[in-house]
Structure 1
C-alpha cells in the first residue's frame, strides 16, 4: 500500500456552520455545525487515506484546542506524530449564508512557535520512513522562511520525494533550496513569487518551465481555479481546462488536488495522468459543503468523464 508522511506546521481545528443571513452586530443562530481536523498537510492525509493509501500526520499541537485537534484526528483514524508546542492551535471557521449561497472564511494567524519546537519537527522528519513527504500549509510565526528548504534537504538525504504546497516567502525559499519533487502553487501564489502579473497562459507556462529547467523542482503544477491548471515538466508544459461542476464550497480543493496527484504518482501512474486525476479531485472537492473534502466516488466519476 502507498505510504506518505504529511507535515502541517500551522494546523487548524476547522469549524463549519450555516446561517440564514449574515448581519453585523446581531446574534445569528447557526445550524449544521461540523468539526474537522484541518491545515494543508492534514487535509492531504485525509484525502490520501480516503483514496486507499496510508498517511502519517506530523503536526504541531498545543493547548486545549490542540487536544481537540488530536481527538478529531483519532476520530478520522489518521496516524499521527504530534509535536507539542506552548501556544494554542488555531481555530478556523467557515460560515455558509443560505440566502445568498456565499461562503465566509475566518482564518486566524495561529500561535508563535519556539525554535526548539520547529527544530523538533525537522528531527522527526529525519527519522521518518516514507516514500513521499508532503509539506502543505503556511508557516506559523517564529518559524524561519527557509524551513521548507531545510525539510526538503532532509528528505533528499533520505531519498524521499518532497512535495511542497505553501505561499509567499516560504514557497519562494522552499523552491530556491532545490530538492523539491513537486510544488503546487495557486496562480496568485505563483504570481507573487515571480513578481509579475503573468497575464496569459504563455507567460505562466514560460515562468513555470524556468523553475523546472533550472533544476529547482522536478514538477510544478499551477492551479488556476476556473481556468484549470498547468503542469510544467521536462519536455514542456501541459494545460488542462477546469472541469465544470456545481460548486458548494471552495474549501480543500487545492489539498484534494495535491493528495490525489501524489496518490496517482505513488500508484505508478505517469505524471500527466496523475495531473488529470488531481484536477478531478479538486473539482470533486467543491461539490462537498463546509470543511469536507473530496469523496472517492466523485473523484473517479469526474476523472473518467474528463478522460473521455
Structure 2
C-alpha cells in the first residue's frame, strides 16, 4: 500500500453517546435530552484531532454489528480516511450524561466484546501492510486480547521503520517499553508504576522519564499532569508546559486530543517545544466542550498562542 504520514490504530473503538438530564433519582425514570453521537475510541479520536488541525491520517479500526455500522458512518462524516477490520462482536458503546441541576458528569463505558484469534491477525496484518512515518496505538484492549498485543504492534512498527506513539496503560504499556517506542504518554501514576515506585513527586518526574529512555523504552516521554499541564522529556531535554485556565465542561477525549496535537505537530516537523505546546493546547481545548466533541480548531490555536507566550 502507499505509505502515509500517520496511521492510527483503534482496536477497541466505541460509539459515544452524550446527553443531559435534570436530577438523578434512584428507581425513577430519568428523562434525557436528545443524544449526540460521536465516533470514539483512542485512535479514532486522535485522527479526529489531527483532522481538526488540518492534517490527515489513516484510521484503522475494528467494527462489528449495528453499532459498528453507525460508527463507520460517523467516521466518514468526519472525512477521515479509514480501513475497517470486520469483527463478530458488536462495537461497544459509551455513555456520558450531565446532570443540569449539579453540572456533574456521569460516564459509563463497556469493556468491548471478545476478538477472535483470526480477527487479531487481521488487525496486525493491516498494520504490517500499511507503512507510515508515525503509527499511533491508542486506547484500551478488548476481551480476548492479551496484554502483549501492543507489544506485537511495537515490533511491527520497528520492522516497518514507523515511529510508534503509544497511549495506553497498565501491563500493556509495561510490555511496550520492553520492545521500545518512539513516544509514550503516561500520567504520573502510570510513570511511577513503570519504574517500580509507589508514587512520584513533581520534581522526580523528569528523572523517572529519563530512566525509561536510558533503558530504551522510548525516545520521548510525555507525562500528562492533568490540570497542571504536561512535561516532555528526552535523553537531554525537559520541557514543562502548564495548562491554561479554561472553563471545563468535559474531560472526555482530552488525552486523545493531546496525543492528536502532538502527533500532528511532529508530522509537521515542529520543534519539541512547539510539539508539547500543541499537545497541551489541544487537550485543554477539548475540556471546553461538552460530552464527546473533542476540541474546536480555533480554541486550540488560541490556547497554543497563550501557552507559547
Q: Given the two structures, how large is their TM-score scaled by the length of structure 1? A: 0.96
Q: CA deviation at 1:32?
A: 4.1
Equivalence for 1:233: 234
Gaps of 5+ in 1: none
Please state whether the residue corresponding to 2:132 is helix, strand or coil. coil
Deviates more, 1:287-296 or 1:198-207: 198-207
Equivalence for 2:211: 210
Q: Does 1:247 align with 2:255?
A: no
Q: CA deviation at 1:123?
A: 0.4
Q: Does 1:222 align with 2:223?
A: yes
| Distance in 2 between residues matched to 1:190 and 1:105, nearest whole Å | 25
Please state whether the residue corresponding to 1:265 is helix, strand or coil. helix
| Distance in 1 between residues matched to 2:110 and 2:126, nearest whole Å | 26
| Distance in 1 between residues matched to 2:204 and 2:237, nearest whole Å | 13
Matches within 5 A, 1:74-153: 74-153=76-155
Matches within 5 A, 1:1-308: 3-178=5-180, 180-308=181-309
| Distance in 1 between residues matched to 2:146 and 2:179, nearest whole Å | 13
Deviates more, 1:222-231 or 1:283-292: 222-231
Q: How many residues align?
A: 306
| Distance in 2 between residues matched to 1:283 and 1:240, nearest whole Å | 12
Q: Given the two structures, how large is their TM-score scaled by the length of structure 2? A: 0.95
Asked whether the 8 Å contact 1:209–1:236 carries over to 2, the reply is no
Q: CA deviation at 1:161?
A: 0.8
Please state whether the residue corresponding to 1:120 is helix, strand or coil. helix
| Distance in 1 between residues matched to 2:189 and 2:42, nearest whole Å | 17
| Distance in 1 between residues matched to 2:95 and 2:221, nearest whole Å | 30
Q: CA deviation at 1:226?
A: 1.4
Q: CA deviation at 1:263?
A: 0.6
Asked whether the 8 Å contact 2:189–2:199 carries over to 1, the reply is no
